[in-house]
């Protein structure tokens, strides 16, 4: 995107008035989106955005400016603005000669999304729409969406780093509304991976549509969820978002540093059941949060956060790691070139154990089986959370029986980790967008089938 000598001069300009560190982050992003509602194509768009952000750090002060102009003049203006914001009296800071780091792709892309005709993408939407409606007359509304994106990034800094990455992501989304005696119920399925159009070979439109439609139909016959403290079994993949939100954010070093994490000061202590090992892995398979380098140029890594219940480390970006005299864990991420990086999760995974999932259910006399979770709220300083449940069933005498609706899970993240008493030998993931301080980035979370011995279930049953 930018010639090496231009980057070198831009970094010199950024540090002309002093500073400890300077960085150029450039991005070239393309996207394609298609959406079908009630049998009609409502959206078929593509877009492109290019630009660069320049960051200058001096002590605790950060100057930042961004520009959509990638010419040398545009970069120089951004560098001067960032330099002025972090200005000091001692100019002449040293810039190390840039040395390009070879970055291996996280994985191969088999079918480049931009090579696929829009007509074929529309065909996938129509196939899913037809398949969902074929599940029954109760399906009254179907919304189908397809999205792909390609993000090329370049990172250069005053310590001599020069690295680039090429990230491709593709996602398919189906949401169905079913109408019956209990009113309207919805079901959704939305697989996404850091791969190309081959996603639709692995997750065929009809299969995704059937899952979404069947979820909506199942909820039509659901009775109100019970209330009270119950054992909760989380289906593989379904509970990943709970641990991402209720525990993962509290393991980000910036929140720890601001005393906004319940895990502050607990490294080396038992914070979870010995059955729990939690990792954040930016290299994992082809998941939604996978990449080769983070948005500060650090290689993606597999970071063990909790091992056999013991808190071992936090996630780090460049600035927080530098303050502690250590290296980044590859968790410096930003939404676009217009944003500063911060500590963010990638693929946050509670690892599989030894228990048979059927035995976990069979060993639960009375409880709740959660197959899909919705949105929620978390207080990272205390760990307290509330999550909606979009698909759930009763467990009675060790058997999954009736579906229930309008359930909420209420609890505390660290306490839920300590109460995990069974961890399955299966595993699945969930793909989504994580929001923090106004920025959203793609992430994945995952876990095996597991049981929390007790959580408060907020239901509407009398």
Helix (H) or strand (E) holding 331: none
Long-range contacts of 163-167 (CB under 8 A, 24+ apart): 163/100, 163/101, 163/103, 163/293, 163/297, 164/1, 164/103, 164/293, 165/103, 165/291, 165/292, 165/293, 166/105, 167/106, 167/194, 167/291, 167/292
The pLDDT of residue 340: 97
Handedness of CA 280, 284, 287, 293 (dihedral sign): positive
The pLDDT of residue 462: 53
CA distance 214 to 186: 10
Residue 130 C-alpha from the chain's centroid: 30
Residue 95 has pLDDT above 90, yes or no: no
In this prediction, residue 90 has a pLDDT band, given cuts at 50, 70 and 90, of low
The pLDDT of residue 377: 86
109 phi and psi angles, rounded to 5 deg: -105, 120
Tell how many helices (H) and how many strands (E) occur in the chain.
10, 24
CA distance 76 to 14: 8
Residues 389-438 pLDDT 10s? 999 999 999 999 999 998 999 999 999 999 999 999 999 999 999 999 99
Bridge partner residues of 391 (DSSP): 372
Q: What is the pTM of this model?
A: 0.94
CA distance 22 to 63: 9
The helix/strand/coil state of 347 is strand
Domain chopping of the chain, boundaries: 228-458
Residue 275 C-alpha from the chain's centroid: 24
Residue 245 has pLDDT above 90, yes or no: no
Which position has the token pair 């038992």?
270
Residue 97 has pLDDT above 50, yes or no: yes
Residue 91 has pLDDT above 70, yes or no: no
In this prediction, residue 21 has a pLDDT band, given cuts at 50, 70 and 90, of very high
The pLDDT of residue 17: 87
Contact 207, 338 (CB under 8 A): no
Residue 84's alpha-carbon distances to 18, 68, 80, 384, in angstroms, are 9, 19, 6, 42
Question: Pick from 108, 76, 102, 81: which is nearest to 6 by CA?
Answer: 76
Average pLDDT over residues 234-252: 91
Average pLDDT over residues 237-245: 87
Q: What single-letter DSSP state applies at residue 251?
A: G
Which position has the token pair 């197959």?
371
Residues 153-204 pLDDT 10s? 999 999 999 999 999 999 999 999 999 988 899 999 999 999 999 999 999 9
Residue 116 has pLDDT above 70, yes or no: yes
Residue 248's alpha-carbon distances to 25, 38, 152, 359, in angstroms, are 26, 38, 27, 28
In this prediction, residue 10 has a pLDDT band, given cuts at 50, 70 and 90, of very high
The pLDDT of residue 253: 97
Residues 123-140 pLDDT 10s? 999 999 999 999 999 999
Residue 89 has pLDDT above 60, yes or no: no
The pLDDT of residue 102: 85
Helix (H) or strand (E) holding 257: helix 253-257
Residue 92 has pLDDT above 50, yes or no: no
Residue 460 has pLDDT above 90, yes or no: no
Q: What is the CA radius of gyration of the chain?
A: 24
By percentage, how much of the chain surpasses pLDDT 90?
87
Residue 37 has pLDDT above 80, yes or no: yes
Helix (H) or strand (E) holding 345: none
CA distance 74 to 403: 58
């Amino acid at each position: 995107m930018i010639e090496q000598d231009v980057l070198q001069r831009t970094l010199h300009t950024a540090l002309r008035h002093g500073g400890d560190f300077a960085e150029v982050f450039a991005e070239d992003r393309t996207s394609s989106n298609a959406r079908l509602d009630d049998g009609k194509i409502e959206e078929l768009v593509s877009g492109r955005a290019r630009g660069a952000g320049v960051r200058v750090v001096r002590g605790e002060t950060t100057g930042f400016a961004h520009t959509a102009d990638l010419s040398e003049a545009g970069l120089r203006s951004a560098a001067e603005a960032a330099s002025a914001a972090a200005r000091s009296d001692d100019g002449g800071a040293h810039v190390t000669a840039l040395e390009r780091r070879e970055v291996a792709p996280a994985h191969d892309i088999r079918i480049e999304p931009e090579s696929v005709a829009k007509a074929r993408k529309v065909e996938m939407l129509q196939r899913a729409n037809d398949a969902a409606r074929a599940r029954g007359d109760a399906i009254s509304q179907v919304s189908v969406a397809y999205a792909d994106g390609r993000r090329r990034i370049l990172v250069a800094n005053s310590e001599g780093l020069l690295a680039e990455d090429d990230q491709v992501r593709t996602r398919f989304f189906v949401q169905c509304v079913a109408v019956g005696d209990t009113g309207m119920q919805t079901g959704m399925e939305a697989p996404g991976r850091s791969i190309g159009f081959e996603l639709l070979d692995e997750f065929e439109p009809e299969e995704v549509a059937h899952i979404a439609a069947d979820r909506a139909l199942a909820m039509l016959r659901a009775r109100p969820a019970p209330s009270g403290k119950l054992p909760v079994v989380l289906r593989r993949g379904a509970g990943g978002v709970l641990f991402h939100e209720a525990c993962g954010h509290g393991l980000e070093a910036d929140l720890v540093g601001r005393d906004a994490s319940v895990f502050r000061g607990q490294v080396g202590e038992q914070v979870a059941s010995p059955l729990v090992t939690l990792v954040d892995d930016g290299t994992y398979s082809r998941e939604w949060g996978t990449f080769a380098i983070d948005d500060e140029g650090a290689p993606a890594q597999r970071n063990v956060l909790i091992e056999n219940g013991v808190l071992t480390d936090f996630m780090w970006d460049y600035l927080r790691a530098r303050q502690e005299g250590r290296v980044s864990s590859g968790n410096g991420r930003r939404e676009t070139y217009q944003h500063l990086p911060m500590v963010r999760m990638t693929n946050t995974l509670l690892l599989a154990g030894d228990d048979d999932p059927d035995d976990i259910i069979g060993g639960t006399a009375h409880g709740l089986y959660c197959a899909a979770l919705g949105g929620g709220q978390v207080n990272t300083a205390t760990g307290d959370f509330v999550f909606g449940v979009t698909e759930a069933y009763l467990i009675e005498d060790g058997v999954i029986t009736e579906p229930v609706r309008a359930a909420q899970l209420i609890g505390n993240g660290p306490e839920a980790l300590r109460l995990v008493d069974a961890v399955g030998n299966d595993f699945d993931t969930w793909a989504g967008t994580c929001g923090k301080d106004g920025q959203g980035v793609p992430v994945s979370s995952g876990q095996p089938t597991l049981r929390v011995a007790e959580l408060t279930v907020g239901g509407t049953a009398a």
